[in-house]
Amino acid sequence: MSLTVIRQRSSSTSFQRLVIGVALSILLVGCSSTPSGGVRVVDRNGKSTVPTRQPVTTGQYVVKRGDTLFSIAFRYGWDWKALAARNSIPEPFTIHVGQTIRFDGRANSPSTAVAAGSARVPQTTTSSSTSSSGSLKTTVISRPVGAVAATTPPPTSNSTTTPVNTTVVTGARSPSGWTWPTSGVLISKFSSNGSLNKGIDIAGDLGQPVLAASDGAVVYAGSGLRGYGELVIIKHSDTYVSAYGHNRRLLVREGQQVKAGQSIAEMGSTGTDRVKLHFEIRRQGKPVDPLEFLPRR
């Protein structure tokens, strides 16, 4: 009798081991099928998006009202000059509603391509402003972007000298000519893998001034980029652009020249859950750590 019990227990143990082995095999197969392109990104609206480490190089985008070449390049991780060259768009880089912007290098179809002769016609775009009585959309005609500041060489990293939750103030300039875009508490820093935070976040008071971090020209002012709320993008040179998101009210329009320290918006919480400024610097379309450019604290 005891021998029979031992055999039954042995059979039960073998069966349990077999079940565990099969479960582990299924788990390993599932892990091996994970894409190798890195972690997936959850945008500020809580929806999953594709990894953002590299520019989108497949498919196409149809221009909508309010888009600019710069905003499309910003959204899909492109250097604006490279995207213009890919789509044979000459200066002043005007695009039109219904035009197809390709990321894969293929020629545009005749039904969506814009004739070369119309490429220099000023583009009608929509920028956003907000009055005390509510939100108001105003239509402006963007003019060609003129000369802007010279290319700024990347300075030595100083990210370790500016900890999170430190107070920053405007006024001082870094050796490379940048200034803090607003005063407040630094609550979030740049993520080096490009998948989490592509800039820094500064908390402040509703309506407080948001300033241009360097001289340049406004190339986008609106709310068409999901997750950024009311957004301003400034082109500083052929290499650098900066972005200012979640504003309550925009004070500049596309094509306008601005100086470092000039008020361009009022801080707000559009597209996010608290009052703050989301600030980015991009070099040839790729996000870089703003703390490497801003004055040390």
Buried b (16+ CB within 10 A) or exposed e, 67-94: bbbbbbbbbbbbbbbebbebbebeebbb
Q: Which 8-state DSSP code applies to residue 291?
A: G
Q: What is the pLDDT of residue 175?
A: 85
Q: For residue 24, is it within any domain?
A: no
Q: What is the pLDDT of residue 194?
A: 52
Question: HSE of 60 in the Cβ direction (CA atoms, 13 Å)?
Answer: 16
Q: For residue 102, is it within any domain?
A: yes
Give pLDDT tens digits for 12-56. 555 566 555 544 444 333 433 333 333 333 333 333 333 344 688
Q: For residue 206, is it within any domain?
A: yes
Could you tell me if 108 and 131 lie in one domain?
no
Q: What is the pLDDT of residue 252?
A: 97
What's the CA gap between 232 and 280, in Å, rounded? Answer: 11
pLDDT over threshold 70, residue 2: no
Q: For residue 15, is it within any domain?
A: no
Q: For residue 148, is it within any domain?
A: yes
Q: Which of 58, 91, 118 corresponds to the end of one domain? A: 118
Q: Which of 118, 136, 151 corresponds to the end of one domain? A: 118
Structural domain tally of the chain?
2
Could you tell me if 154 and 249 lie in one domain?
yes
Neighbours of 240 (CB within 10 A): 25
Run of H or E including 29: helix 2-32
- Yes or no: say if 245 and 271 are a contact pair by the CB < 8 Å rule: yes
193: domain CATH number is 2.70.70.10
Q: For residue 7, is it within any domain?
A: no
SS3 180: coil
Could you tell me if 277 and 251 lie in one domain?
yes
Q: What is the pLDDT of residue 36?
A: 34
Q: What is the pLDDT of residue 71?
A: 92
Q: What is the pLDDT of residue 133?
A: 34
Sort strands 230-235 and 286-288 into parallel, antiparallel or unpaired.
unpaired
SS3 279: strand
Range(s) of the domain holding residue 154: 126-292
Q: What is the pLDDT of residue 229?
A: 96
Q: For residue 36, is it within any domain?
A: no
Q: What is the pLDDT of residue 270?
A: 96
102: domain CATH number is 3.10.350.10
How far is the CA of 77 from the CAs of 83, 90, 91, 198, 272, in angstroms?
A: 10, 20, 20, 11, 21
Q: What percentage of the chain reaches a pLDDT higher than 70?
A: 61
Amino acid at 137: K
Q: What is the pLDDT of residue 176?
A: 84
Give pLDDT tens digits for 197-249. 789 999 999 999 999 999 999 999 999 999 999 999 999 999 999 999 999 99
Q: Which of 118, 148, 164 corresponds to the end of one domain? A: 118
Confidence (pTM): 0.64
What's the CA gap between 183 and 131, in Å, rounded? Answer: 23
Contacts for 141-147: CB closer than 8 Å, 24+ residues apart: 142/68, 142/253, 142/254, 142/255, 143/92, 143/255, 144/91, 144/92, 144/94, 144/255, 145/92, 145/93, 145/217, 145/219, 145/235, 145/255, 146/217, 146/257
